[in-house]
Copies of this chain bind each other. A is one copy, B any other.
Amino acid sequence: MKVFQKEFTLSPHDRGFHIITDRVLDEIPEISEIKAGYLQVFIQHTSAGLTINENTDPTVREDFELHFDSIVPEVENYYQHNVEGIDDMPGHLKSSMVGCSVSIPITNGSLNLGTWQGIYLCEFRDYGGARTIVLTAMGV
């Protein structure tokens, strides 16, 4: 049984959806030692998130930004939590809609993603700053 755990910091990203698959792989090359298992990617923040989606056409990520803004508007008359800026409460809501972690199978030393799948950093703040990621790979 093997367990590898790494923690690293993503430098600030613009608000929006960004593919970070290669960066994750760079941080945990030890997954090449795992024949069968999985990798968990966890973000330690509540106004950002992680998801898996289409890894090729950048307009997909732009449409994500517009659609999440549409179903979680920046201003709602019922929001009470707004001391940290109008992008904060919507960021919390979006974070729970996509989630703060993804888990991906590892097979024969590689992430067993589908052809079109990539890991997205979902940055919901205008100036979210650096984000800390914890990677945990487990398997045999």
Grouping DSSP codes into helix (H, G, I), strand (E, B) and loop, the A interface class, with mixed when no group exceeds half, is: mixed
A120 to B95, CA, bound (A): 13
Q: Which residues of A, 31-69, contact B by the 8 Å Cβ criterion?
A: 36-38, 40, 42-46, 51-54, 57, 59-60, 62-64, 66-67
Interface centre among A7, A105, A107 (most CB of B within 10 A): A105
Q: Is A9 an interface residue (CB 8 A)?
A: no
Residues of A in contact (CB 8 Å), total 63
The answer on a CB contact under 8 Å between A138 and B63 is no
From residue A103, how far is it (CB to closest CB) to chain B in Å? Answer: 6
The answer on a CB contact under 8 Å between A42 and B76 is no
From known contacts A105-B40, A105-B136, A140-B3, infer whether A60 and B89 are also in contact, taking CB-CB under 8 Å: yes
